[in-house]
């Protein structure tokens, strides 16, 4: 199941030519992941407070396909690929209508507050990947 986040390109997202600066796609997909997790009923503040676990990006493999421009209405899609007790891999894309502008495979890891690898509690795993549990 894919999650969607709609957003608009603001002037601050662009360069002098009115094209979205490449690093801002990472911000767009970060928002998409945050809203995906929230839509699953996972409170990241409570996860840190109650279990000492946070999500961190381990790897991003990205392809820039077409430029987004000032005032474009975009859609960020997020879809779970795999999940283990300590790692989540998602496929994300940024769309303008039916045109795919950007795609990324993102690997997230679970860390404790000391920076060591951590494991997700079973109830959180079940929310993130219900078909796998």
Q: In this structure, are residues 132 and 83 in contact, taking their beta carbons and an 8 Å threshold? A: yes
Residue 15 appears among annotated catalytic residues: yes
pLDDT at 87: 95
Distance CA(84)–CA(73), nearest Å, equals 34
pLDDT at 129: 83
Instruction: Report residue 56: phi and psi, to 5°.
Output: -135, 140
pLDDT single digits (tens) 15-70 = 999 999 999 999 999 999 999 999 999 999 999 999 999 999 999 999 999 999 99
CATH number at residue 31: 3.10.129.10
Structure tokens at 47: 């996860």
Domain count, the chain: 1
> Domain residues for 64?
2-132
CA distances 84 to 5, 10, 97, Å, are 25, 36, 33
Q: In this structure, are residues 68 and 20 in contact, taking their beta carbons and an 8 Å threshold? A: yes
Residue of 15, 43, 63, 71 marked active site: 15
pLDDT single digits (tens) 83-113 = 998 999 999 999 999 999 999 999 999 999 8
């Amino acid at each position: 199941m894919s999650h969607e986040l709609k957003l608009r390109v603001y002037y601050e997202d662009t360069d002098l030519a009115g094209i979205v600066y490449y690093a801002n796609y990472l911000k767009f997909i970060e928002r998409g992941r945050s809203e995906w997790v929230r839509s699953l009923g996972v409170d990241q503040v409570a996860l840190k407070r109650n279990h000492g676990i946070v999500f961190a990006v381990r790897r991003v493999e990205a392809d820039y396909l077409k430029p987004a421009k000032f005032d474009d209405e975009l859609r960020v899609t997020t879809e779970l690929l795999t999940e283990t007790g300590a790692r989540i891999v998602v496929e994300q894309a940024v769309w303008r209508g039916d045109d795919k502008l950007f795609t990324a495979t993102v690997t997230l890891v679970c860390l404790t507050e000391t920076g060591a690898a951590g494991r997700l509690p079973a109830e959180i795993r079940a929310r993130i990947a219900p078909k796998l549990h």
